[in-house]
A and B are shown apart, each in its own frame.
Chain A
Amino acid sequence: METRRGRRVAFAAAVATAVALGVSACGGGSSASGNTQVTWWINPDGGGSDPEGGGQVQLAKECTDKADGAYTIDFQQLPNSASDQRQQLLRRLASSDEGVDIMSIDPVFVAEFAEAGFLAEVPTDLKSEFTEGVVPPAVTNANWKDTMYAAPFWANTQLLWYRKSVAKEAGLDMSKPVTWDQLIEAAKKTDSQIGVQASRYEGYMVWINALVEGAGEHIVQNPGAPGEELEFGLDTEGGKEAAAVIQKLADAKVGGPALGSTDETTSLDMFQNEQAGFMLNWPYVYAALKGAEVDWIDDLAWTRYPQTVQGEESKPPLGGIEMGVNAASDDKDAAWDAVACLTSAESQKTYMLGTGNPAARTEVYDDSEIREQFPMADQIRNSLADSGPRPLTQYYGDVSSGIQRVYSPPGSVDPDTTPQRAESLLQAVLKGDALL
């Protein structure tokens, strides 16, 4: 009898422990002290997981302190690449995972998440706070079908980085807008390279989109349309101009020794090692080059993204991070309050100084500390304002993968056939008639 009773007690204790552990492991909800804990799924950044590293983890700590007990921001880290981040978030959101409250989302995936019903709408009283003084393309990316689903956190753009001596040798006047054709000729003339991103990954899509936008076209003509009704602007005059730039660069062999394998890091390596005299890349490279203590840092300069078509303003790429709240979160109010703190001008300044990632709020660029650390601050702000966002569609992943496939390797791109092949493939894929 004693043994049986003992077993019962042990069993009850085990069940109680398991339940208690299960409840605590669920995350979120209110803690014993009455505080609401919200979990923020962050993308990896230069700050790491150090609460004083200047990254998202530091912001989480600072906003928790400011909340004065109203909420606590915990964090979980997503994988490195944007597509891996999307996959992990999608799986969690599709299963209504309440352990996700706030998410750092690549802007191109807001439409897909919102269309699936995974994102909570921005509360009316916070809309103006999230939009006023924010660069307009970042706000555009936060909306889907006239509803705001996210708050712009930081916004990224690409600049044309170059070495003054190489540009001078090539006879380029960098005070005026330059075209891709001029750049290619300059690289050929100076026996130099141009650092671009043309490996089969999202970075290549960023380049293709910027070229198409720069030619006055949009890859997706009717954002928001159902898959089978999507229309594309690749097989157009502008789309062909864009493909022609890739073809010229590949034919001239000025894209580095392995153009089809280049990403941001390899481009930076080429530039840093003086193989490349020109490079299209995000602003983080400035801090990276300074950190590497390159001996030619005084020769470094930057200007606006090159024109696809002479005389037509370029549309620099747009990146960054939007912040969304899970529709299945139990603590949406606290989550939005936390987002308001995390995306405030003060937070964005801290983040820009800590990681080099540019703020989405324009006022940050007037800050003296920022101007000292980022001598190209005005160029970044202007580029952000004039940037050309990637297609807004709930099928962005398919569109991007399809284009990457047909346009790879860059040496195979032909303006007469590649855009048309890409459109045909995308139409077949979105109708469910082809694999990707």
Chain B
Amino acid sequence: MSASTPTQERAKGAKARLSDRSRSEQRLGWKLAMPAFVVMVLVTGYPILQAVWNSFFAYRLTDPDNRHFVGLNNYLVSLTDQVFWSAMWMTILVTVITVVVELVLGFIIALTMHRIVMPRRTLRTLVLIPYSIITVVSGFTWLYAFSTGTGFVNQWIQWMPGIDASYNWFGGFWSSLFVISLSEIWKTTPFMSLLLLAGLAQVDTSMEEAAKVDGASWLQTLIKVILPSMKAAVMVALLFRTLDAFRIFDNIFIMTGGANDTSSLSMLIYRQTIDRTEIGLGSALSVILFLCVLVIAAVFVKAFKVDLAEGRG
């Protein structure tokens, strides 16, 4: 056993002091974070756990004495019911349609705002107006616009085959889906365009200029230079909007109330939990929706990370 040299002893002492300080800092960190942590657990964690717990019970608000454990039955009932899959189909359709259209329109608007020099602030303000309107209000606006007989849309487009003032947009699935999607797209495209505009600002202009010097056309520059440079912004915009669209509620609630199979998953949860006061069944559906959102988020986050890695490479 060899004795330590003075240098080694000093190093050990310094390490011990550092370790003590680190532990002390760690404790302080915990102390400082504790109030926020407690609030997080109470405000976020508790309701989630309570919802999961409730989902294992048959429990109706108007019959609280009859609360009993049913295991996974609420999940089984939900996942084997045609109404659930119909709501899932509607939710997926709305999500895909709105996000794709918003991405294309949002990019065009962002590109326009990026190129225009003069009234940029005014333009941005104008573009943002729909996004600043409460969804309920915009939902009602579109509802009235497409109302049978009195809505102005039918008055305008009577040249189209099968359309007259009495055309009922909310009488069938596809026409209802069209108006609901239109309202969503109108309201949220500005949000998408702002996120993409931030992405455009990150594009290295020297690369664009180099591409031009090399003789690349505008389209080639867009596809080969601009779009790859703003992958991260596109991914963030897609993630936010996909999660948002997947939880669609307001527009459907106002326009159709879920009639003609237009109920989304959120509407279905509302109907079971609030309308029927079936807390167990509603909780099971909420957990299912939560898991769906979690999966979507995980997929996007993974794609986002890969993208960053590729960017670094």
CB of A177 within 8 Å of the partner chain: no
Q: Is the CB of B166 within 8 A of A257?
A: yes
CB of A292 within 8 Å of the partner chain: no
Min CB gap B283→A, angstroms: 13
- Given A397-B275, A435-B78, verify A94-B64 contact (CB < 8 Å): yes
Q: Is the CB of A435 within 8 A of B275?
A: no
Q: Is the CB of A94 within 8 A of B62?
A: yes
CB of A74 within 8 Å of the partner chain: no
- Given A90-B62, A94-B64, verify A261-B257 contact (CB < 8 Å): no
**Most A-side CB within 10 Å, residue of B73, B84, B168:** B168
A116 to B66, CA, bound (A): 11
Q: Is the CB of B271 within 8 A of A408?
A: no
Q: Is the CB of B170 within 8 A of A261?
A: yes
Min CB gap B69→A, angstroms: 13
Q: Is the CB of B81 within 8 A of A409?
A: no
CB of B54 within 8 Å of the partner chain: no
- Given A200-B259, A435-B83, A436-B276, verify A394-B271 contact (CB < 8 Å): no
Q: Which residues of A contact B84 (CB under 8 A)?
A: 435
CB of A299 within 8 Å of the partner chain: no
CB of A258 within 8 Å of the partner chain: yes
CB of A423 within 8 Å of the partner chain: no
Q: Is the CB of A258 within 8 A of B259?
A: no
Q: Which residues of A contact B259 (CB under 8 A)?
A: 199-200, 260, 408-409
Convert A101-128 into 0s and 1s, putting 1 for each residue whose CB lies closer than 8 angstroms to a CB of B: 0000000000011011010000000000
| Number of A-B pairs, beta carbon distance below 8 Å | 77
CB of A434 within 8 Å of the partner chain: yes
Q: Is the CB of A435 within 8 A of B62?
A: no
Convert B253-286 into 0s and 1s, putting 1 for each residue whose CB lies closer than 8 angstroms to a CB of A: 0000101100000001001101111000100000
Query: Interface size bucket, B side?
Result: 20 to 34
A87 to B270, CA, bound (A): 11
CB of B63 within 8 Å of the partner chain: yes
Q: Is the CB of B276 within 8 A of A397?
A: yes
A401 to B257, CA, bound (A): 12
Min CB gap A324→B, angstroms: 14
Q: Is the CB of A434 within 8 A of B148?
A: no
CB of B292 within 8 Å of the partner chain: no
CB of B77 within 8 Å of the partner chain: yes
Q: Which residues of B contact A408 (CB under 8 A)?
A: 259-260
Q: Is the CB of A435 within 8 A of B81?
A: yes
- Given A257-B148, A435-B78, verify A398-B276 contact (CB < 8 Å): yes
Q: Using CB atoms, name the residue of chain B closest to A409.
A: B171
Q: Which residues of B contact A434 (CB under 8 A)?
A: 77, 81, 83
A408 to B168, CA, bound (A): 14
CB of A433 within 8 Å of the partner chain: yes
Convert B79-105 into 0s and 1s, putting 1 for each residue whose CB lies closer than 8 angstroms to a CB of A: 001011000000000000000000000
Q: Is the CB of A257 within 8 A of B168?
A: yes
Q: Is the CB of B62 within 8 A of A258?
A: no
CB of A432 within 8 Å of the partner chain: yes
B171 interface neighbour in A113, A258, A432, Cβ under 8 Å:
A258
A94 to B77, CA, bound (A): 26
**Most A-side CB within 10 Å, residue of B272, B274, B277:** B277
A91 to B277, CA, bound (A): 9
Interfacial residues of chain B within 154-186, with CB under 8 A of chain A in the complex = 165-166, 168, 170-171
Min CB gap B249→A, angstroms: 15
- Given A90-B61, A394-B62, A432-B77, verify A260-B168 contact (CB < 8 Å): yes
Q: Which residues of A contact B257 (CB under 8 A)?
A: 200-201
CB of A24 within 8 Å of the partner chain: no
Interfacial residues of chain A within 85-100, with CB under 8 A of chain B in the complex = 87, 90-91, 94
Q: Which residues of A contact B168 (CB under 8 A)?
A: 257-258, 260-261
A291 to B168, CA, bound (A): 29
Min CB gap A416→B, angstroms: 21
B62 interface neighbour in A112, A401, A432, A433, Cβ under 8 Å:
A112
Q: Using CB atoms, name the residue of chain A closest to B172.
A: A409
CB of A83 within 8 Å of the partner chain: yes
Q: Which residues of A contact B170 (CB under 8 A)?
A: 258, 260-261
Q: Which residues of A contact B260 (CB under 8 A)?
A: 408-409
Q: Is the CB of B272 within 8 A of A435?
A: yes
Q: Is the CB of A432 within 8 A of B277?
A: no
CB of B58 within 8 Å of the partner chain: yes
CB of B149 within 8 Å of the partner chain: yes
A118 to B77, CA, bound (A): 29
Q: Which residues of A contact B166 (CB under 8 A)?
A: 257-258
A2 to B7, CA, bound (A): 54
A87 interface neighbour in B64, B272, B274, Cβ under 8 Å:
B274
A83 to B277, CA, bound (A): 12
Q: Which residues of A contact B78 (CB under 8 A)?
A: 435
Interfacial residues of chain A within 222-239, with CB under 8 A of chain B in the complex = none
Min CB gap A36→B, angstroms: 29
A263 to B286, CA, bound (A): 32
A429 to B274, CA, bound (A): 16
Q: Which residues of A contact B271 (CB under 8 A)?
A: 401, 435-436
Q: Is the CB of B62 within 8 A of A115?
A: yes
Min CB gap B111→A, angstroms: 40
Nearest first, the 5 closest Cβ-Cβ pairs linking A and B are A257-B166, A258-B168, A258-B148, A116-B62, A200-B259
User: Could you list 10 A-B pairs, sorted by A, with CB under 8 Å?
Assistant: A199-B259, A200-B259, A257-B166, A258-B170, A261-B168, A397-B276, A401-B276, A432-B73, A432-B77, A436-B272
Q: Beyond A87-B274, A94-B64, A435-B272: 17 further Cβ-contacts under 8 Å?
A: A83-B275, A94-B62, A116-B62, A118-B62, A199-B259, A200-B257, A200-B259, A201-B257, A257-B149, A260-B170, A401-B271, A408-B259, A409-B259, A433-B77, A434-B83, A436-B271, A436-B272
